[in-house]
Structure 1
């Protein structure tokens, strides 16, 4: 459920619409969303914006979270079953063995002495993304998945330059803070280069990625030299889950989170420079090869 404003109202008669819909319909605009999301909705989809409506919204959110948690548990159980089946078939060590190698989460281990259940139950690390950057993420998603556009590459500034600029911004800070920031920047760059191809791209961007990746073959450069703030920002959506499964102690995790929050605030302040003002259109050939 989303907060919306009714812009128009009509009573649709039988045969007046090609989809066969009848009865009261309302043209609504969703607060905080672009006009491209405005739509006609039937009366039964509306709920008054009052205490009862807000309560229902919260219940739906909690229900969705519960479903998501159940799906994650089901996926984990499926992965565990596959790992056990593979182990039994080839005589490989089980998920709890120190030498286990596998692609499923069940093969991962936490700190020494920590069992699999404790590892999987670690709380998710929360990273607060500033509101302006949330809007950027939504606009980014809409441009690529809905409008079939792409971020123009190579980007200026690219991820390498962005991380370097952040360190320059901190040059007057205390030595300990600068040293930690250097480590954080290096870690973000490493995460980005490892995660881009597998986790940070929309399906529609795969063709573009393959073209750019070919250009890097035979060089010592990484994708962080081609991609920019749009894709770097996506990393912070996935980062909480990644950080939850590291072996950092609570104090180190707290310092890391503080640095990440400061970096996101810096990105927010410099968003007009870091993000491209317009995405580029794509040919019908590219769309046919990379759709769905």
Structure 2
């Protein structure tokens, strides 16, 4: 495509680019107008090419002394900022050992988990049995938020449930295991410890929200009795270890409506969408491990 007069950055140009809260050295691989908006296909220096991505113009900076200094100042600020520290989700096993946990102490974005959480009024309802049926799961978000293969899985799972099948629980691949594997895959593509903390913070928020959202809004009617039995049988296990990738996917399918909340500013919304979309692609790429028909049996 020929260079458009509205484009500020050129193909092949060395640039700086925001990824999460930090700025990284990068290269512009492609530059084009998409839906009347300037977009650039960015490769982050030193990162695996799997993380190359299209970004809007407001995330790209000229590679010059002033912006390099901005990059250093931002990293220094994040390193020295005395953020409130939260412990990562560490579910307990009945044998007393810690289960999988996201391997980082998270403090870069301490408000993400809070902003993702169900409001306090909803928390009080988490044990009620009058939760709505999941037949309406994520209609709007499915059309724009999920890879096609995951849309098909949600439809197939709906059939399983209404045929009288339930997921075999505790899950073979728990929601926490899926998140931990994604964290490891993501961390393997970059060297910056602060970027790893951002990914961990987002996933920690997702796991916290999962624990609240699952009993409140993620269960089909036939699954509610199973939930009660599991809660009594495994009182010391976190829900993100009891339930698996399929239930995590249900939550992600509904997450778009959460991001429309005025509690999220534009930057936070973009950040969450970026990582949640990457998590969904990871689940889609590994669906044979995380979403298995044989993990459903007649109740």
Q: TM-score, normalised by structure 2?
A: 0.50
Asked if 1:198 is matched to 2:216, the reply is yes
Q: Describe the shift of the 1:246–1:274 C-alpha distance in structure 2 as closer, same or farther (beyond 3 A).
A: farther
Provide the rounded CA distance (Å) in 2 between the counterparts of 1:155 and 1:258: 27
* Bigger share in strand: 2
C-alpha distance after superposition, 1:180-230 (max 9, x if no partner): 11011101101111000010000011111111111232x2x3111110011
Shift of 1:102: 8.8
Instruction: Report 1:185-224 matches (<5 A).
Output: 185-217=203-235, 219=236, 221-224=237-240
The structure with higher relative contact order (CA 8 Å, sep 6+) is: 2
Q: Kindly provide the CA deviation profile for residues 7-45 of structure 1, in whole angstroms up to 9, marking residues without a partner as x.
A: xxxxxxxxxxxxxxxxxxxxxxxxxxxxxxxxxxxxxxx
Is the helix fraction higher in 1 or 2?
1
Task: State the Cα distance separating 1:256 from its structure 2 match.
Answer: 1.0
Q: For the residues of structure 2 that align with 1:246 and 1:216, how far apart are their CA atoms?
A: 37
Aligned mates of 1:263, 1:127 — CA distance in 2:
15
- State the alpha-carbon separation in 1 of the partners of residues 241 and 280 from structure 2: 20
Residue 180 to residue 246, structure 1, CA distance change in 2 (3 Å): farther
Residue aligning to 1:118: none
Query: 1:264 is matched with which residue?
Result: 280
> What is the distance in 1 between the residues matched to 2:229 and 2:120?
30
Residue in 1 that maps onto 2:153: 136
CA deviation vs aligned residue, 1:141-167 (integer Å, no higher than 9, x gap):
11002x110011111110111111111
Q: Which has the greater radius of gyration?
A: 1
Measure how far apart 1:174 and its partner are.
Answer: 4.1
Gapped runs of 5+ residues in structure 1? 1-100, 105-123, 283-292
Distance 1:254 1:202 in 2: 30
Q: TM-score, structure 1 length as denominator?
A: 0.51
User: Retained in 1: the 8 A contact 2:145–2:256?
Assistant: no
Structure 2 CA distance, aligned partners of 1:261 and 1:237? 11
1:246–1:226 Cα change, 3 Å: farther
Measured in 2, the distance between the counterparts of 1:199 and 1:128 equals 18
Shift of residue 177, structure 1, vs aligned partner: 2.9
Paired with 2:121 and 2:176, the residues of 1 have a C-alpha distance of 29
After superposition, the Cα gap between the structure-2 partners of 1:265 and 1:148, relative to the gap in structure 1 and judged at 3 Å, is same
Match of 2:164 in 1: 148
Distance, in Å, in 1 between the alignment partners of 2:121 and 2:177 is 33
Checking the alignment, whether the CA contact within 8 Å between 1:155 and 1:227 is kept in structure 2 is yes
How much does 1:246 deviate?
5.3
Counterpart-to-counterpart distance in 2, 1:102 and 1:168:
32
CA distance in 2, matches of 1:127, 1:186: 24
Runs of 4+ in 1 over 3 A off after TM superposition: 101-104, 124-127
Root mean square deviation, CA, Å: 2.2
